[in-house]
Chain A
């Protein structure tokens, strides 16, 4: 059993071992091993040219990664916290996302941008946000997020190995949760990076969650089972592209869907998933697709985040509303 954070560390280590062109760059990723220690020990073992402590400027981290990628490198950028990605937003959206398209396919930017995201850790402003929709809205980027140590280990390696630019969201409040990870498992033949997974099969309603909310959804399903409701839980995993066939198949069987995420609801992934499910599964639906999300406010002060964040009760409340339709 290792933590999700340690699983990422092992995954990055393997990526560095397997490809000499892989470089890790970011603030405090070297000697310190990152503020969450995700890159702990990597600079010591791979050197300062492979694990680069950069100046404190996020646009610079991503912008220089673009140049390194043009040169043939495979950069892995760490953005220290979700709320600090915005100085790099221009480089990510205007350059990283578009250069393959712009160049008529000549340029590949195999850049992975790791972003610890989400709340629940009692932090100050800018340290608890869920900005995934901004990136999922941008053609040219792929966006994924892991929810458990085994996926973290595999998915980070798959993201680094992918020639697509990948925004890799890490559920920071799950960094310390443990799970079984087979460190010898080969990458070839692994569960695909952009596939959704039915984490808990069920028959009565579909809970759709990703990242830190998967655990909440699973707990809600366990609680609902005590009331005789058999909920299916899908870990969406890939936010761009979304693996819709798995979602549609589930909703057609259960007839009900509830999407859960920490990010504000307005214009979020839940809205998109609800629209697509409605378009594709209309005659199977017994109730409208419901969303349980953060509120459409800035992320609140830490003492209020328990009220802000979707939790087991709010998810069960939405399930009740779905059944009450």
Chain B
């Protein structure tokens, strides 16, 4: 897959991947893959600093969410720890007109879309089902059933083609997020079939974080995931998912290919879920501490910080200011999460059907009367 300087590193999986920033913070100028595509980035200092700020901020917000869950303020939380670069890199590669279909872990992508990070907290706090308007934010609602959103993304992408919105740099594209476990789902494979057959403008962005809750990658596949794409007739590419620069470059290219009418791409972002699957999980039961330590050395934030420091793009004051700003955002998030009102019980009956239902209406009426029967009774 990836040739050139990047395959020399000791941390690269068999088959290679596109890497533009090593774990030691060394910049790789460019990587040319076997299909002749050259991946590189040409960021200004300000853009580098922006990516660093994104990474630190989404990790800090995630840390706050984990704390909120541990303090009983969230029912559950799906941490993105370790996957910040894959999410920020791919998210920043999206153009405003592009549509994203997340799982339930894409808090980093959500942040890069300019969305208030509190938006998914209703879901995790249990005050709503995570409801927002996908078309307003160009970011679909979180999907919890593994892999189902890949078909929604494919259908949406077919709609782009039907609307004539591909074939130019102004075209639209879709990115569908999912994990290594999802690649075993029939629906994900159907979305690959569909996208191939209809040449849909879609990028399948698989964050291979090595585990589906407790099950390691070898329980899902006996070939590298990016190679699956070949069987469906479109390109697959593996990228260092802990490298924000490579994640950006590869995703930007794949999205542009899609919007230009060249069809789908499968990106396997090779990364690691540093935390638990969710706050309900205990990873010490199924993986060794040494493995986690080895991945800590490939941390997406520390490598960018090393690079920025060496290049004098970021100095001590900058890093301190980013940390302070992230702390401030986290505190603000915490305060607003704690202030989220509990929903009114009668809202159970809202939005079951766009056109309503006499049966639901009758149950709402009976519910209200039943609730009212307790008023003043001290119940």
Contacts and interface: CB of A to CB of B under 8 A. Distances in A.
Query: Does B associate with A?
Result: yes
Interface string A167-193: 000000000000000000000000000
Query: Interface centre among A49, A59, A72, by most B CB within 10 Å?
Result: A59
Q: Which of B148, B159, B350 has the most CB of A within 10 A?
A: B159
Contact of A241 (B129, B140, B357): B357
B354 A65 contact: no
Interface centre among B101, B151, B160 (most CB of A within 10 A): B151
B134, B157, B160: residue with the most chain A Cβ atoms closer than 10 Å: B134
Contact of A103 (B131, B190, B191, B193): B131
A139 B349 CA distance: 11
B148 A91 contact: yes
Contacts of A142: 353, 357
A267 interface: no
A324 interface: no
Interface string A231-268: 00000000011100000000000000000000000000
Interface string A105-127: 11110100000000000000000
B35 to A, nearest CB: 26
A55 B187 contact: no
Interface stretch (A9-17, A93-101, A294-302): A93-101
A162 B187 CA distance: 27
Interface string B153-172: 11111111011000000000
B152 interface: yes
A140 interface: yes
Chain B: interface residue count, which band? 35 or more
A68 B156 contact: yes
A71 B129 contact: no
Contacts of A164: 353-355
B358 A55 contact: no
Given A66-B155, A104-B131, A162 B355 contact: yes
Given A63-B154, A105-B354, 12 more contacts: A63-B148, A71-B159, A95-B143, A99-B141, A100-B353, A101-B129, A102-B129, A102-B141, A103-B351, A106-B134, A240-B359, A241-B357
Q: Return the 6 tightest CB-CB contacts between A and B, nearest first.
A: A67-B155, A63-B151, A104-B131, A64-B155, A71-B159, A106-B133
17 contacts: A59-B187, A63-B148, A63-B187, A64-B154, A66-B152, A71-B155, A72-B159, A90-B145, A94-B145, A98-B129, A102-B129, A103-B132, A104-B128, A104-B350, A106-B132, A163-B355, A241-B358
